Amino acid sequence: MKALDVIQAADVSMVKKLFASRLHNSLIPLAKKCSSTGDGWMYLLAALIACFSFDEHRLYILSLLLGYAIERPAYYVLKNLLRRNRPFRVMDIKNSVDPSDQFSFPSGHTSAAFMFTGLTATAFPVLFIPLIIWAVLIGCSRVILGVHYPSDILVGAVLGMTLAHISLIFIN
């Protein structure tokens, strides 16, 4: 149990430093915009665009469908099993967006963004650098907005990339 206490203390310390910095408030508008790109509409748009050339991108579309069929339930089960309260619920900080659920661990926005990045970059390698930057920014935005701890983001990223890999194994 001591390791979890150390992680929690480090998370709280990082969030306190972020929210105490003068830069924090100026990052909120950009963080809101960035976070909103991970709300799900972009994933649907990518799949719809790929459908226009279904034969050529069949494996990509199938990997996205399988990936999200695994990722959403896995994220939901973990979140409701572990039940970690969000930072704004236990710290004296204000959240800048209303989260879609009560708990923070792992970050669903981050897991979805990293899974999308892994699957899309496999199909379209030229997109890897912009997509990985985008996925990292989504994770960072969730901390800036007060709805996640840094470790929520880290585990969300690992979960997303792991599930992308699993999806690709099953599809190929």
Do 85 and 104 contact (CB within 8 A), yes or no?
yes
Domains of the chain are 2-171 (1.20.144.10)
The whole-model pTM stands at: 0.91
Both structure tokens of 172:
């190929």
Position 46 scores a pLDDT of 76
> How far apart, in whole angstroms, are the C-alpha atoms of residue 18 and residue 30?
15
pLDDT 10s digit of each residue in the chain, 172 long? 587 788 888 888 898 999 998 888 999 999 999 999 988 887 877 777 777 765 677 888 888 889 989 988 998 999 999 999 999 998 888 888 888 888 999 999 999 999 999 999 998 899 999 999 999 999 999 999 999 999 999 999 999 999 999 999 998 7
For the chain, the straight-line distance linking the first and the last C-alpha, in angstroms and rounded, comes to 40
Q: Would you call 110 helix, strand, or coil by DSSP?
A: helix
Do 137 and 37 contact (CB within 8 A), yes or no?
no
Q: What are phi and psi of 103, to 5 degrees?
A: -105, 160
